[in-house]
Amino acid sequence: MSRRSSFDTSASLWPSFVDVMSNLLILMLFMVIVFMILNFVSTASHPNEKDKKIQELQKIIEDKNKLNQALINNVRGIKENIQQLQQENKDKDSDIEELYQVLDMQKDESKKKDIKNEQLSSRVAELNMLILQMEGDIIKKDNQVKALQNSEENLKNTVSKLTVEMQKLNDVFEATDKYISWQKVQIVELGKKLNRALANKTAELFKVRSTFFEELSQAVMENKNFVMVGDRFVIPSEVFFSQSSAELGDKGKEKLREIAKILKDAMVAFPEDIDWILRVDGHTDKTPVLPNSKYKSNWELSVARAVSVVNFLISEGIPANRLAATGFGEFHPLVEGNSVEALSRNRRIEFKLTEK
């Protein structure tokens, strides 16, 4: 835009130049008038030369008029030239403005091209990197193909070796089948012997358990609430515990001493190779525990009662590894119903002599 400002400066100097020329013209006219007045005064003092001076003045005035007219014409021409130059300057300014606009557009296009070139360069770089990666992948794939070809050859050799080994194994299997057939016969015979042994052990355990429960029944036969249910001996909880309690009472301890004595006597007759165990099961009725009880549920109460019985039996000399305590809560009743008799029968301690 510096070029445009230089044109604007040159165009603004012309009016000043015209003003200066006008002032000079007025000054010259003033000097001519002064000169004419002085000549008129001098001719008035010499009347004989009046006509001559007048003629000279007229000639001078005519010359000055011609000069003034020439100057005026020159000034008019200068003004016209100035106007023409100003118009040309305006046209040039318009052309220059258009040129600047074109130049700006070219600069914008150049910037856009530069941006596109940068983007293209970046894309070319990315493509070059991708090509390099693809070339690396191709090399890796070639190596993998070679490795697979080598592996295939190795597999063929391995298959050949395995074929030979399979033939050897087939020979071994034929011999093994004969041996297995013989073993099956032996296993059948052993199974029969084992079943006979187990039957004998079961019979022995059943005999011991019958003896134990028979003696236990005789010890508590005065109480008709003591019953046999299948392979379990059932005793009401009231014999051992008060309501919602797992602490053994004196009567309960006395009964447990009798049971412990009977069990210790029976243990002498138990075969040594029978891994027997006396399981103590605690059961409650469906009545919730008392609010002041330290047990939150019948589950906890039934387990605590079974544990109390087991601990007392241990204190009476029954080995701990021959005892187990379990609790069933109210979920395995002997009889259904909400009667006093039904609830009483469901509150119980059960003894079951079984194998581990």
253 located within any domain? yes
- State whether 116 and 239 are in the same domain: no
- Does residue 57 or residue 324 have the better pLDDT? 324
Domain limit, last residue, from 103, 120, 137: 120
Q: How high does pLDDT run on average in the chain?
A: 76
Domain limit, last residue, from 120, 149, 182: 120
182 located within any domain? no
Give the tens place of pLDDT for each residue, 272-317: 767 788 999 999 999 998 888 889 999 999 999 999 999 999 999 9
Tell whether the model's pLDDT for residue 171 goes beyond 50: yes
Average pLDDT over every residue of 135-144: 81
Q: Which domain holds residue 17?
A: 2-120
Q: Identify the H or E element spanning 283.
A: strand 276-283
Average pLDDT over every residue of 30-58: 67
Give the tens place of pLDDT for each residue, 7-40: 455 555 566 666 777 777 777 777 777 777 776 6
Q: Tell me what percent of the residues of the chain surpass a pLDDT of 90.
A: 21
Neighbours of 248 (CB within 10 A): 20
CB 213 within 8 A of CB 354: no
- State whether 224 and 109 are in the same domain: no
108 located within any domain? yes
How confident is the model at residue 283, as a pLDDT?
A: 96
- State whether 116 and 226 are in the same domain: no
d(CA 122, CA 118): 6
- State whether 341 and 230 are in the same domain: yes
**Residue 279 DSSP symbol:** E
Average pLDDT over every residue of 76-102: 76
212 located within any domain? no
Q: Output the domain CATH number for residue 249.
A: 3.30.1330.60
How confident is the model at residue 350, as a pLDDT?
A: 94
- Does residue 263 or residue 209 have the better pLDDT? 263
Q: Is 87 buried (19+), middle (13-18) or exposed (0-12) by CB count in 10 A? A: exposed
How confident is the model at residue 168, as a pLDDT?
A: 72
Overall domain count for the chain: 2
- State whether 224 and 351 are in the same domain: yes
Domain limit, last residue, from 78, 96, 120: 120
CB 11 within 8 A of CB 82: no
Using DSSP, state whether 111 is helix, strand or coil.
helix
Whole-model pTM over 0.85? no
Which stretches within 220-249 are classed as H helix? none
Give the tens place of pLDDT for each residue, 306-336: 999 999 999 999 999 999 999 999 999 999 9
Tell whether the model's pLDDT for residue 136 goes beyond 50: yes
Q: Tell me what percent of the residues of the chain surpass a pLDDT of 70.
A: 72
